[in-house]
Amino acid sequence: MSVKGNEPLTMETFTQGLWKDNPVFVMLLGLCPTLAVTNSAINALAMGLATTFVLICSGFLVSLLRKVIPKQVRIASYIIIIATFVTMADYGIKAISLDLYKALGAFIQLIVVNCIILGRAEAYASKQKPLKAMINGAGMGLGFTIALLSLGVVREILGSGTLFGMHLMPERFQTWSVFVLPPGGFFVLAGWLMLFSWWRERKAQKEVI
């Protein structure tokens, strides 16, 4: 997908990340945090929001400095910019909720090496105006958050019978604890991918008829 600098600001700028180029389900980027922190819905939400924050801020700064940064050292500069915002998000979450901070562990700091953010900085923010870069970042972040939530919700309901900590399933429901353990992450993501490809296939068949 090639992006030129002179396209007008459209709805597409925002919605691109939501569905068509959803970072997790379509592009399969940023899988490590996707699988590692989605064993409950609240962790998934926090991780998604932290990533969105970093995406928006780093998009803005990279786009602002796009004419200043020399081409040879651009990747290193992007990583430093991203690391700065991740440190801010890290201290922010620690200040807001210590429990959440402990549950997410090193994965907040590992946002630095999330390929979605570096990918956006390189492919989009470095060529666009600051406002567009921010809006696109927000869309991508929201798409990422939705993907994380759709995994987190399934895993929490099946794995511990709760949703956002509230009991949802009847008393006699036997929890499938494999879903909150590492293998469950792989299985649920595989399930979602199969669902989407089944849906796409059905749509393609309808168009033929």
User: Rule CB under 8 A: which residues touch other proteins?
Assistant: 28-29, 31-33, 35-36, 76, 79-80, 83-84, 86-87, 90-91, 106, 109-110, 112-115, 118, 178, 181-187, 189-190, 193-194, 197-198, 201
Q: Whose CA is closest to 114, among 38, 42, 28, 39?
A: 28
Closest CB 197 distance from other proteins, rounded Å: 5
Closest CB 50 distance from other proteins, rounded Å: 13
Closest CB 77 distance from other proteins, rounded Å: 11
Contact predicate 43/152, CB 8 Å = yes
Place of tokens 């081409």: 71
CA atoms within 13 A on the CB side of 55: 31
Cα 119 to chain centroid distance, Å, stands at 12
Closest CB 174 distance from other proteins, rounded Å: 18
Nearer to other proteins, 10 or 197 (CB): 197
User: Which residues sit opposite 167 in a β-bridge?
Assistant: 162
Nearer to other proteins, 10 or 87 (CB): 87
What is the rounded end-to-end Cα distance, in angstroms, of the chain? Answer: 30
Closest CB 189 distance from other proteins, rounded Å: 5
Closest CB 158 distance from other proteins, rounded Å: 14
| Rg, the chain, Cα only | 19
Nearer to other proteins, 6 or 205 (CB): 205
Sequence-separated (6 or more) residues with CB below 8 Å from residue 47: 33, 37, 38, 104, 107, 108, 148
Nearer to other proteins, 33 or 143 (CB): 33
Q: Whose CA is closest to 39, among 127, 128, 149?
A: 149
Nearer to other proteins, 82 or 157 (CB): 82
d(CA 61, CA 129): 10
Nearer to other proteins, 60 or 179 (CB): 179
